Chains A and B, each alone.
Chain A
Amino acid sequence: MNLRRFPVMREISIAVLVFLYVPVIVLTVYSFNANRTATVWTHASFDWYLRILANPSIRAATWNSIVLAGTSATAATLIALLAALATRRAFPGRDTTETLLRLPLILPEIVVAVATLLLFVSLGVSLGLGAMIAAHTAFCIPFAYLPIRARLDGMSGSYEEAAQDLYADRFRTFRRVTMPLLWPGVMAGFTLAFVTSLDDFLTSFFLSGPGTTTLPVYIFSAIRAGITPEINAISTVMLVISILLVSLSFFLGQLRR
């Protein structure tokens, strides 16, 4: 008799998994439907994928999204790495610092987004890629910080003591021991920050200027204009990219624990 088993839990869980994945599967299947009305299944085709590849606004939006996510995630990861190293040892005010670093996770995104819009407009900062990079960097910090911090917490301080004992100075210790051991956490943090920025809609929606639409903002306005098979195709592409990146981050997190 397994103590951890309770009646009907398994059935409910399977139902929940179905609930979680059926919409995603339906979306993916429809993206391969040749029929434009999208209601009637005709036959499988890659037409819509070829069309989005050819669509210049989608290509521009994709490029904007990648530049935005790449820049913000890199900046956020660097900032988070420094912060994680600083908060490793206890000091007065550490709890407050950590709460501040997690603030973007707690606050409703729409409130922060409009507040940032307000700030930028009142300062005369022009909206667009620069504004989005700044805002994305801010809300990506906790996503990069938490995996790095988790990795640091799981790392015994005696490795660094051993390195110093074996004649490596502080800088060499960081390069030869701390960084290599921390690396999977840094990569996991970067990946999560990248996905978060790539998937973000609200902040970009308020801060994107003319000509700097990101992919999610493009999808939103396209949905508003009506459901089309092209949207199914881009959405599926976005879904696949996120799933790949998150799985990557997950495995990096499990690495050599």
Chain B
Amino acid sequence: MMQSAAVRQLVLLLPALGVIVLLIGVPLGLMGWVSLLEKSASAGVDWQASPGAGNYLRLVWEEDFDGRMILNPTYLVIFLRSVLQAAVTTLLCLVLGLPVALWMAGLTRTGRMVMLLLVTIPFWTNLLVRNYAWLIILREDGWTTAVLNRLWPFGPVQLLYNDAAVAIGLTYSFLPFMILPLYSVFEKFDWRLIEAALDLGATRRRALRRVVLPLALPGIVAGSLLVFIPCLGAFVTPALLGGGKTAMLGNVIQAQFGPARNWPFGAAVSIVLLAIMLAVMTAMALWRSRRAPR
């Protein structure tokens, strides 16, 4: 009885685990291996090359004309920009998302359902299309630029192809990722705690700071993670709204697998991106487990 139930479970799980392992696990493992190889003359992967850390070293150093290794800041800057851009976006999403989640939780049942749908819809609509919409709004010959040029006396305004445009696009893309986990915390919130805080002499503002925010912390962390990680690997937003000087990690990976045709180097950049992501997630998990016993 016991035995056959276990076998049945395994058989039912096999297709799912098989697909995930073969089409996600194996490719990632292969990429880790390729990141240690070199590109071949024909722009593919030189499978015969002896594995080494050359691609990773190239992220930081380059060989100058005399054969010495000197610091190459190109990729370091991109890394830094990606992390900063992701951090700024996370913060913007938090500032905008927290009030929405808090307000939603206070609505009637129907109101909550409607808001939930309104917040969820952008989450599922095409990322490309949504970034394209911003392209229309921010472009040089659009009315937004025209209006701002009238108001701004110091020369023409350039809204597109800069870090700010990318930040707007990323915030727009990932805001629902912040609102939804926060809302699920506030939905279960025991509002009598606020009553208690007010009774103990706190103002609404103080109650918000001293009671609501600390209890919402797990939701804040979950939401931040959900925004930060996809931001790090963003490609579409910087590709459409950013310019040459605003490239992020995703653009580097695409370039190496696309026009530059250096797959091993692109693989190395991907692995580094995965490593940063893993580090952030581990840090959060540690923080959570340290907090849990209390």
Contacts and interface: CB of A to CB of B under 8 A. Distances in A.
**Are A and B in contact, CB atoms below 8 Å, in the complex?**
yes
Interface of A: 2-10, 12-13, 16-17, 19-24, 26-27, 30, 37-39, 78-80, 82-83, 85-87, 89, 91, 97, 100-101, 103-104, 106-112, 114-119, 121-122, 134-135, 137-139, 141, 145, 192, 195-196, 199, 201-202, 206, 216, 219-220, 223, 227, 231-232, 235, 238-239, 242-243, 245-247, 250, 254
Contact of B120 (A37, A104, A117, A250): A250
Interface in B90-136: 96-97, 99-100, 102-106, 113, 116-122, 124-130, 132-136
Contacts of B63: none
Contacts of B12: 82-83, 85-86
B128 A219 contact: yes
Interface in B215-241: 229-230, 232-233, 235-236, 240
A116 B172 contact: no
Given A26-B133, A206-B257, A216-B126, A10 B141 contact: no
Interface stretch (B16-24, B48-56, B66-74): B16-24
Contacts of B8: 86
A41 to B, nearest CB: 9
A199 B124 contact: yes
A232 B142 CA distance: 14
Interface of B: 6, 8-10, 12-13, 15-17, 19-21, 23-24, 26-28, 30-31, 34, 44-45, 47, 96-97, 99-100, 102-106, 113, 116-122, 124-130, 132-137, 139, 141-143, 172, 175, 191-192, 194-195, 198, 204-205, 208, 229-230, 232-233, 235-236, 240, 250, 253-254, 257, 263, 266-267, 270, 273-274, 277, 281
Nearest to A251: B117
B118 A20 contact: yes
Given A20-B118, A192-B124, A201-B236, A103 B20 contact: yes
B27 A108 contact: no
- By DSSP majority rule, is chain B's interface helix, strand, loop, or mixed? helix
A231 B139 CA distance: 15
Given A80-B16, A141-B16, A141-B19, A3 B103 contact: no
B274 A20 contact: no
Contacts of A219: 128-129, 132
Nearest to A109: B233
A141 B45 CA distance: 31
B253 A110 contact: yes
A239 B136 contact: no
A110 B42 CA distance: 24
A22 B172 CA distance: 11
Contact of B100 (A12, A38, A79, A232): A12
A139 B16 CA distance: 11
Given A108-B277, A110-B254, A118 B263 contact: yes
Nearest to B129: A235
Contacts of A100: 17, 20-21
A201 B15 contact: no
Contacts of B126: 199, 201, 216, 235, 238-239, 242
B110 to A, nearest CB: 12
Nearest 5 pairs between A and B by C-beta? A108-B233, A4-B106, A115-B27, A86-B12, A23-B133
Q: Is the interface of A mostly helix, strand, loop or mixed?
A: helix
Contacts of A199: 124-128
Contacts of A107: 24, 28, 274, 277
Contact of A27 (B129, B266, B267): B129
Given A13-B104, A108-B277, A112-B28, A91 B133 contact: no
A227 B99 contact: no
A97 B13 contact: yes
8 contacts: A6-B204, A9-B103, A26-B133, A112-B24, A116-B27, A117-B257, A137-B19, A145-B16
Nearest to A37: B141
Nearest to A11: B99
A232 B136 contact: yes
B30 A13 contact: no
B24 A2 contact: no
B233 to A, nearest CB: 3
A145 B263 CA distance: 33
A39 B142 contact: yes
B128 A26 contact: no
A144 to B, nearest CB: 10
A16 B92 CA distance: 11
B16 A122 contact: no
Nearest to B235: A110
Contact of A115 (B28, B99, B250): B28
A117 B45 CA distance: 13
A243 B125 contact: yes
- In this complex, the member of A21, A108, A192, A242 whose beta carbon has the largest number of chain B beta carbons within 10 angstroms is A108
